[in-house]
Structure 1
């Protein structure tokens, strides 16, 4: 399966976003369990979650591109040509 550069960038952003969301939840859980961290842990965890959500937004675009490519390969009627 041929993956374009744009698709690779979208996939990387998705994976990084999901990882940041998970790490943000871990930071928030540790902050909640430990009283020494104070408000900075909540700020760090919330920032990681927010950045992770923003980076995971390309998920829909990536899946749409993937489905369009698969549909084009499977259906001969959707192949467009430049000639008229």
Structure 2
């Protein structure tokens, strides 16, 4: 996989993670339906937040590593 495709994939993963985080926060704080579900609603909103963190945090670190590596290679030339 080329570096440009990998960066695009990582940026997409970050966007999905942020959307899942926002969805989880919305479901937890503002959705009356999740409140009516009780513990199941809490689990669903917590799952959205957990998946959002899984998608967003490690990819940010890897994307930063790739961009720093690219910058150092371009400055050497």
With the length of structure 1 as denominator, give the TM-score of the two structures.
0.74
Residue aligning to 1:36: 36
Q: How does 1:34-73 map to 2 (within 5 A)?
A: 35-56=35-56, 57-73=58-74
Quick check: which has more Rg, 1 or 2? 1
Unmatched runs of 5 consecutive residues or more in structure 2: none
Runs of 4+ residues over 3 Å off in structure 1:
none
Unmatched runs of 5 consecutive residues or more in structure 1: 77-84
The answer as to whether partners of 2:24 and 2:46 remain within 8 angstroms in 1 is yes
Question: Alpha carbon RMSD of aligned pairs, Å?
Answer: 1.9
- What's the CA shift for 1:30? 2.1
- Count of paired positions: 73
